[in-house]
Structure 1
Amino acid sequence: MTEFAPDNIAFLITRPAGKADNLLAALDESGVSYLYQPLITTAQVNVTPYDIQQLQQADAVVFVSVSAVISLQNQLDASMLGAPLFAVGQTTAMALQSWLGRSAEVPEDQRSEGLLQLPQLQQLAGKNIVVVRGNAGRELIKQGLVARGAAVRYVQSYKRVALPLDGELLCQQWQLAGIRCIVATSNEILQQLFKLVPQAHHHWLTQRDFILVSPRVQDSALALGIAQQNIILAANANDWALLSAISQLKREYQ
């Protein structure tokens, strides 16, 4: 975790390790003080021979995150994946380009809803589509594709794992540092934050500003007791959208 002194460090970044490097570098360059504390990490899940067969026979392969790409890359030769590629976000598409040397279709609206609007995913009768993802997650993509006649199979290449942390101690440190805003880039992170921090500190949590990345996560935040006026929605979950939201809020804090 970033070293700190009790001098009103406004922002707490909770993005998982390995996914936060570019954002943290951009914050350093912009002179934004922050604490960094990931709450969850990812662990690779071994794909099965059947998974590999499904990938090779797919008419299209959808990747929902960078972790999905990297965890599969560690287990699969690039020559075995020849189907058209789709990525929910631009960062995921960049990871695919780096691995496979070819581009993936990416929606302008970098969410599941946006992916389902792509023209290439409208007429799918009889098509076999594989979605590479972690454990659990939204069912929206599968439901949308199945409704259009596709046969959809999941390949799980990684799982999310909560880090073993002392929520009481961490919350005391955050309060001492003067945290005013928490950046949570997924529903899993938001839920884990409230699970980790003892109930006695939940009132303090709900009084923070939260930078979130989708209406779905916003709905979860409202259900947890965070007021609408304390929620800022970034344009999407990529580093530059988060940096823009943080920079704007920093100006308001000054």
Structure 2
Amino acid sequence: MIPLVVRPEPQAHSLCRSLLEAGHQPVASPLLSFSEGAGLRSLPALFDPLTHRDYVITVSVPAVTFTDNALRRRALAWPAANYVAVGDATGRALAGAGITGATVPEDPRSEGIVSLPGLQTLDGCRVVILRGDGGRHMIAPTLEQRGARVDYCEVYRRHYRTDPDGSLVKSWQSAGVDSIIVTSGGLLTHVFQLAAHAKDWLLSRLLIVPSVRVADSARRLGFTQVINAEGASNQALIAALDERKRNDRQ
């Protein structure tokens, strides 16, 4: 198959390499990049009061990477708190930063985070949520109702690639893209906006997504061929694509 890979680097390169090894012909077109967020300046004030009773929730790999780099520049350490990592890749990023034993919810959505046993009773606890600009706002209100003081810290900003003359989408069409791998709701929305002038073509592509939430969003947009890979790892995404490839051969 000829899947379009739109996730940011270096994950895009890694996924394309794995797709090639699996016999696919990927088209790399990263649509998202990141830069430092204004919240990095607030890290010392947010981290200093944290104790072993408190929590740090990291929502993505960039959240860990930008935070760790900022701490290293200032010769500061991660606080001795409890850690929650949204997704296995984020858990591995924390381990790479020296934080082991982070809790990784099976459900990577906000609903999965707030359902963790350790976050049910939080009287007097502090929670710092490391994330990018924007995002859902369900976590903080729920944890505050349980007695926590919650602070969001926007440690990175997202930058989406534009396509003012439509040449990027035309290049996808010329390459024979028959499937699209999107790994977040934000990327799904951006792909849909970029290809608004080629809507019929776009909605007829097979779509591989990482979760039920993104799958539901895709169907609301009009996609009819949606496969939930149940994860954003290379292995999960390729397994979903291979399953469709096998079915097409039968």
Pair in the same fold by TM > 0.5: yes
Alpha-carbon distance in 1 for matches of 2:180, 2:221: 14
Q: After TM superposition, list the pairs within 5 Å mapping 1:97-246 onto structure 2.
A: 97-166=95-164, 168-197=166-195, 199-227=196-224, 230-246=225-241
Q: Conserved in 2, the CA contact under 8 Å of 1:184 and 1:190?
A: yes
Helix, strand or coil: the match of 2:151? strand
- Give the structure 1 partner of residue 47 of structure 2: 55
Q: Return the alpha-carbon distance in structure 2 between the equivalents of residues 167 and 125 of structure 1.
A: 54
In structure 2, C-alpha distance between the alignment counterparts of 1:99 and 1:21, rounded to whole Å: 22
Shift of 1:217: 1.7
Q: Is the 8 A contact 1:90 1:106 kept in 2?
A: yes
Q: Which amino acid aligns with 2:89?
A: T
Q: 1:102 to 1:30 in 2, by over 3 A?
A: same
Aligned length: 243
Structure 2 Cα separation of the partners of residues 173 and 56 of structure 1: 50
2:208 aligned counterpart, secondary structure: strand
SS at match of 1:136: coil
Please list, as runs of the form range in 1=range in 2, the aligned pairs for 1:20-99 lying within 5 A after superposition: 20-58=12-50, 59-77=54-72, 79-99=77-97
Deviations along 1:163-186, one digit per CA (max 9) or x if unpaired, are: 243562222222222211111111
Superposition CA RMSD, Å: 1.9
Q: Bigger CA drift: 13-22 or 178-187?
A: 13-22
TM-score (norm 2): 0.89
In the aligned structure 2, how far is the partner of 1:202 from the partner of 1:75? 41
Tell me the CA shift for residue 10 of structure 1: 2.2
Tell me the amino acid that sits aligned with residue 215 of structure 1.
V
Shift of 1:96: 0.6
Distance 2:78 2:9 in 1: 29
Specify every segment of 5 or more residues in structure 1 that has no aligned partner in the other structure, as ranges.
1-8
Higher mean alpha-carbon deviation, 52-61 vs 17-26, is at 17-26
Checking the alignment, whether the CA contact within 8 Å between 2:13 and 2:28 is kept in structure 1 is no
Identity among equivalent pairs (%): 35
Larger RCO, structures 1/2 (Cα 8 Å, 6+ apart): 1
* TM-score under structure 1 length normalisation: 0.88
| Contact preservation (8 Å) 1:89, 1:111 | no
Distance 2:28 2:41 in 1: 38
